[in-house]
Amino acid sequence: MANRLTNKIAIITGAARGIGAKSAQLFAQEGAAVATWDVNVERGQAVADAIQADGGTAMFCQCDVTDAAQIENAAAEVVKELGTPNILFNNAGIAVVGELEEISEADWDRQYAVNVKSIYLVSRAIIPLMREAGGGSIINMASESAFVGFPMHPAYTSSKAAVVHLTRSMAVRYAADNIRVNSLCPGTINTELYQEFLAQQPDPGAINREIEAMHPLGIGEPKDIAWAAVYLASDESRYMTGAPMLVEGGILSR
């Protein structure tokens, strides 16, 4: 344990699986007290329980990050149980697959509600607390898709591009409060979300090989992104704000 996050209190949304779950584990290993937020009670609680069993400090909050009332309640729980948060990882996200002419209006709105509006809602609740604590670090989950035009993901790619620019706006506004805001832009990562995407394809194996070939370093693992999140959460990145941190296996170098 390097103790890079000692004495810090972190909230991670979408922490029940994938990058969120791995980030919660690594944040705790680095000394942070971690609040895992998710709609999935069983798996979200299991992540917190595993951290506690390993000697770390963690709690779980059931929270739909598109619901302002639930966010306010979860934030109050964190303050009561752990203290004032100084790290927020807005990790929750979904991926709607389908061409522009095929996506329903409801799916389009849901994509933006989870991937973009949730960052606004959660940050709105947590920034005043961070300000009281003297500052902190906010990490917003974006994607390589913010920079690459994947034709089957118009809702997803445009939502992630919105996250990158929202992050820049937040970074400029809250720098005076000692709150840094950066976006994290992963390449294709072997998560359950990715496997669910493949399962919707007529030939999952062929699509997987095609996507893997697009990335010079191949498809990544959740820990590859979780370690980047540790860096952004820590004081090691104290001079970074507004930046889209690319951890994308080289796809943008082609």
Mean pLDDT by 10 residues, the chain (254 residues): 90 98 98 98 98 98 98 98 98 92 96 98 98 96 92 91 98 98 97 88 92 95 98 98 98 91
- Distance from C-alpha of 197 to C-alpha of 48, rounded to nearest angstrom: 27
pLDDT at 38: 98
Helix axes 18-29, 222-233, angle to 10 degrees: 50
pLDDT at 1: 52
User: Which positions are catalytic?
Assistant: 156
- Distance from C-alpha of 95 to C-alpha of 108, rounded to nearest angstrom: 10
Phi, psi values for residue 241, rounded to 5°: -155, 145
Name the one residue in this structure whose structure tokens are 């739909």: 64
- Reading the block at residue 221, the tokens are 């693992």
pLDDT at 152: 78
Q: What pTM, to 2 d.p., does this model score?
A: 0.96
pLDDT at 76: 98
pLDDT at 16: 97
3-state helix, strand, coil in the chain (%, to 5): 50, 15, 30
- Distance from C-alpha of 122 to C-alpha of 90, rounded to nearest angstrom: 8
Among residues 63, 76, 150, the alpha carbon closest in space to that of 114 is found at 63
**Which segments of 8-156 are extended strands (E)?**
9-13, 33-38, 57-62, 87-90, 136-141
**Gyration radius of the chain's alpha carbons:** 17
Helix axes 118-133, 68-81, angle to 10 degrees: 30
